[in-house]
Structure 1
Amino acid sequence: MNTSSALSAAPRDLPVWQLAVASLQAGVPVALLCVLASTGSSPGRQGFKMVVTVDSMAGSIGGGIMEHKFVELARTLLAGGNFSPVLRHQIHRREAPADRSGMICSGEQQLLVYPLTSADLPTVLRITELLQQSASGRLWLSAAGLCLEQQAPAAPHYTLQLGADWAYSEKVGFRDQVTLVGGGHVALALSRVLASLDFGLTVLDDRPNLNTHQLNPYAHYKRTVAYEQLPQEIPAGPHQYVILMTFGYRSDLVALRALLHHPVCYLGVMGSQAKITELLATLRAEGVPEETLARVHAPIGLPINSRTPEEIAISIAAELIRERNTV
């Protein structure tokens, strides 16, 4: 089984590109705003986007006074007719000698205001299709124009070159991918939460007729697999998060053995402290080195005395947010 549900969450950018399509098709002037880089405590992170017309907008580059200023700048540029891309460095500190954003949160951003034209419509349509289909591609923005290329497997999610020959690229779709190994009640509750947090979501289980797996409407992909085959089922990479929440201790052990050396950024196991202690003791007895076991997050979830599947899901999602935002 390999399915994608109608209720699974779309990437954050989809409404942005949908408004761009509708505006270009209607002949309405439209500008794309994009955060090309961000450091420190910035209100919008790298890759955040907006589309702005004279009377509508979608998306966000972080909110606050800075976003308001850039929306007004975009509308002024649109009212003046054709304009060239505008790159602006913004510093969120009152004492900055130049490029002050009006905010005091201490970070910095590189922002782009980019005019979209009717010539860009085929590319914008294709980007929208890729996002709707959870398909891959690579978006490029530069002084030479907007284009879409095939995604190189080993390429980083974002690239940026500043200067006269500036160029920005990003992978289309979700940067961060979560795989839940085990499709039970907590996986269903966690899927519901993760659907709102801009994670691509896959749920795997080894039981072919599990109702909570089959009926999960939030996962982008669901498959029935043997846990011994997990390294072949889960991509490696710096934005891959894996959570083991299988039927019980034995299946957790099989899944964990399979993934101990799989290069992902986060590998966690759900369970009581007693179960986790026994699980790790078994692996130590099998000769697994301590440095290998140290990469396992277990038991997962922030300590909020959670009891129900929904409460456990909140605690796990909070831990994933903390991990993602410390990278």
Structure 2
Amino acid sequence: MHALFARLLTELTEGRAVVLLTILDTKGSTPRTAGSHQLILADGTTVGTVGGGYQEYVACEAGRAALADGTSCLLPLLLHKNPTADIGGVCGGELLVFCQYLAPADAAAIAFFTTLTQCLESHQPSWLALDVTVPDRWAMALQYGTQQVTCEAATAQPGLAACAGTALTAEGIQARQDGVLYEETLVQPRRVIVFGGGHVALALVPLLTGLDFFCTVVDDRSEFANSERFPMADQCIVTDFADLSQHVTVTPDDYVCIMTRGHLGDYEAQKYVLTCHPYYMGVIGSRAKLAFVRNKLKQDGFTEEEINRFHAPIGLPISAATPEEIAVSIAAELIAIRAKREGRQKKGAFIWREETDGSYHISKGTI
């Protein structure tokens, strides 16, 4: 997606118009889902895909017409027999595609897509809203963190943008009293902060980055937190664990894995992380180490409820022993947590198999 929007930005900046195709809604069986994008460039070529085949041909032809006319439009595509709008598809589904004309050298659009591409490049959690109440008078809003930027078509009327200034909350297309709004998550919150750059972290970080997480490694030893040791990490931070608040920012969107080299490092990391309220907190360690840190945290005034937010010991119970096996158990737990967070949890996902007297039975998990 980053490459597509980067190309869009290049086209606008260099003075060429472009049409952005976006699937706003689908029903039934379709090759691509809502949130799929494709560009129609000034020379008629394309970047990306909204599904391939004849449906994409029709969408691209509509996009080329929009480019020639300098207008935007909504395009319904029916992939089943229909007396008026059948395009010959056999998938059985329906799509709604928005053909969005973007004028060349539009300063507001360039600023908007500059911020959008920066969010994609830096993995900044971000959401896009698109007001298509009147297709040729569209308006967009991009929300990232506590900030929001907006952009609208040159033909938009003042006050038309139903999305501007509102918090983005839902996925897909919605009919509202003040218009029709489409919302899309551009970047899901997927940053994992790993405190401790030891053996388990060395196995875990490449595994997580291959699973579309983005990792920051923190250690108090420069030889354990550097780009040579962790080439796939987005960032490596070297700091004393007692001074984390000055050097490491943990947000409510983050996943945190604590695996420092000792009791005191874990304690300092847990004490700091508890004040940041991240989405997920896990800590590796023996029962003795976990009990030691728990007692110190209670002495600091943290409640049992707060401390119990830590997944401890971290990882799914798969009898992992080696650093590589432990990394797999942690990655599996994070996959499950992420799927639940993003609304992709499958039925029975948190049921775990345990062996008792040589046979297996089903019991509830603790994720």
Band the TM-score falls in, shorter-chain normalisation: 0.5 to 0.7
Report the 3-state secondary structure (helix = DSSP H, G, I; strand = E; otherwise coil) of the residue aligned with 2:232. coil
Counterpart position of 1:50: 37
CA distance in 1, matches of 2:329, 2:119: 32
1:75 equivalenced with 2:60 (yes/no): yes
Counterpart position of 2:121: 132
Within the candidate set 293, 303, 308, 2:317 is matched to 303
Counterpart position of 2:21: 32
Report deviation, 1:270. 1.7
1:114 equivalenced with 2:126 (yes/no): no
Amino acid aligned to 2:261? F
Q: Number of residue pairs matched? A: 292
CA contact (8 A) 1:157 1:171 kept: no
CA distance in 2, matches of 1:116, 1:157: 23
Report deviation, 1:72. 4.9
Report deviation, 1:301. 1.3
CA contact (8 A) 1:236 1:264 kept: yes
**Which deviates further from its counterpart, 182-191 or 68-77?**
68-77
Amino acid aligned to 1:235? V
More contact order relative to length (CA 8 Å, sep ≥ 6): 1
Counterpart position of 2:2: 14
- Match runs of 1:285-300 below 5 Å: 288-300=302-314
Report deviation, 1:241. 1.2
CA contact (8 A) 2:125 2:188 kept: no
Identity of matched residues, %: 28
Within the candidate set 293, 313, 330, 1:279 is matched to 293
CA distance in 1, matches of 2:192, 2:26: 24
Report the 3-state secondary structure (helix = DSSP H, G, I; strand = E; otherwise coil) of the residue aligned with 2:197. coil
CA contact (8 A) 1:241 1:264 kept: yes
> Do the aligned partners of residues 256 and 116 (structure 1) sit closer, same or farther apart at CA in structure 2, a change above 3 Å counting?
same
Q: What TM-score do the two structures reach when normalised by structure 2?
A: 0.61
- Match runs of 1:1-327 below 5 Å: 13-21=1-9, 30-34=19-23, 48-53=35-40, 57-58=47-48, 71-82=56-67, 84-86=72-74, 112-119=97-104, 122=110, 123-124=112-113, 127-132=116-121, 139-143=128-132, 144-145=137-138, 151=144, 153=146, 162-163=174-175, 165-168=179-182, 173=187, 175-207=189-221, 209-215=222-228, 216-231=230-245, 233-237=248-252, 239-284=253-298, 288-327=302-341
Report deviation, 1:262. 2.5
CA contact (8 A) 1:203 1:219 kept: yes
Report the 3-state secondary structure (helix = DSSP H, G, I; strand = E; otherwise coil) of the residue aligned with 2:332. helix
CA distance in 1, matches of 2:10, 2:339: 33
CA distance in 1, matches of 2:38, 2:73: 14
Report deviation, 1:15. 2.6
Report deviation, 1:141. 2.9
CA distance in 2, matches of 1:69, 1:185: 51
Amino acid aligned to 2:337? E
Report the 3-state secondary structure (helix = DSSP H, G, I; strand = E; otherwise coil) of the residue aligned with 2:266. helix
CA contact (8 A) 2:257 2:282 kept: yes
> Do the aligned partners of residues 110 and 74 (structure 1) sit closer, same or farther apart at CA in structure 2, a change above 3 Å counting?
closer
> Do the aligned partners of residues 30 and 214 (structure 1) sit closer, same or farther apart at CA in structure 2, a change above 3 Å counting?
same
Amino acid aligned to 1:166? V
**Which deviates further from its counterpart, 214-223 or 25-34?**
25-34
CA contact (8 A) 2:192 2:256 kept: yes
> Do the aligned partners of residues 157 and 150 (structure 1) sit closer, same or farther apart at CA in structure 2, a change above 3 Å counting?
closer
Structure of greater Rg: 2
CA distance in 2, matches of 1:22, 1:234: 32
CA distance in 2, matches of 1:285, 1:136: 35
Report deviation, 1:76. 4.3
CA distance in 1, matches of 2:196, 2:272: 14
